[in-house]
Amino acid sequence: MATLGKVLAVFNVLVAIVFLFVAAKDYNSRQSWAYSHFRHQLAVHGLPLDGRDDAWRLPGRTISDQFGKTARAEMFPGGGPATQEEEVTATVGAFKAGVDQAGDVNGKRAVIATYLLPELTRAEERDEVVAELYALRDQAGVDGLVARFEGIANRALNPQADRETRRRAIADFLYNFEYTAARHQRVQAVVGLEQYVAAAERGIARMQGMIARDRRVIADEQAAFVAQYQSEVPELTVLAGQLQALEAKLTEQKELVQRHTALKNARTAEVMDYTNKLAAEKQKAADEFAALAAVQKELFNVQRDWAEAQARNQQLEHELRTRETGK
């Protein structure tokens, strides 16, 4: 082979090596760009609704086909869902676990109020649930409120609705569940920036509607209170006059009670004095009675001695007469 042929052969080999290197680099760059583009699409549109969702992919390819373990680990370092349906199911499970772990009815009431009330989109429905929470006394009431929460989740997962409706419903459900930075960062990754922002806007609109409704209710209740208060003023005036008269009478009665109390105390002191005197007189009488008994006993002894002496005198007189007469 001529020298030129050898040079050309070597040159062709070098060109082939360079071509292979550029092709490999181009392929790697393309794969990296494609993956980056996919991740950005995930950031905008969120996870697939389910394993069959192909909303923004090429026909015949689902989002789950490309959403592998690597992307999942990058999005959720501590573990996360593969679809939005899985996240809704996990959220319901976390809610029920929190309720079950509460120690008593009061603890369960606090958990339910924290997570159920934000999911209610109508003020009237919130008022109804608040009334049920105040009346909560047993496990049956707890089960009813938990079932209401599950009903909201099931409506969000409604398989009969179109994909866009389900995306909105799931975004609203997850957005309202818990208001913490970590939770909302996760929700943003699950539903995507597009639905996350839309859910925030819908939440603001609902809150504005609730605020307007509450202002109307407050104004109506304030007007009703003023009307009722004004209708009660005449009666309150009469009752105030009666109260004043009763207070004057009460003051008079208190003074009378004080005077009677002083008299009672004086009479009590007199009773105590006379009781002491009576006890002393009783003791004196007892002593005199004992002395009289002693005198009576002594008199009895004297009378007995006198009777015995008189009997002896009569005996002596009889003996004397007998001697005188000889009879």
Whole-number Å distance between alpha carbons of 19 and 24: 8
Is 105:137 a contact under the CB 8 Å cutoff?
A: yes
Whole-number Å distance between alpha carbons of 97 and 92: 9
Q: What pTM value is reported for the model?
A: 0.62
Whole-number Å distance between alpha carbons of 301 and 294: 11
Token output for 238: 């009469």
Per-residue pLDDT in tens (0 to 9) along the chain, 327 residues: 566 666 666 656 666 665 565 555 554 555 556 566 767 787 888 888 888 877 766 565 777 776 767 777 778 887 788 889 999 999 999 999 999 999 899 999 999 999 999 999 888 888 899 999 999 999 999 999 999 999 999 999 998 999 899 999 999 999 999 888 888 999 998 998 999 999 999 988 888 888 888 888 889 889 888 888 888 888 888 888 899 999 999 999 999 999 999 999 989 888 898 889 888 888 888 888 888 888 888 888 888 888 888 888 888 888 787 777 765
Is 92:156 a contact under the CB 8 Å cutoff?
A: no
Terminal alpha carbon distance of the chain: 218
CA dihedral (300, 306, 311, 312) positive or negative: positive
Is 120:129 a contact under the CB 8 Å cutoff?
A: yes
CA dihedral (237, 239, 240, 245) positive or negative: positive
Token output for 289: 């009675």
Place of tokens 């819908």: 202
- Rounded to 10 degrees, the C-alpha dihedral 180/181/186/190 comes to 80
Nearest residue to 116 via CA among 140, 138, 148: 148
Is 196:183 a contact under the CB 8 Å cutoff?
A: no
Token output for 309: 């002496």
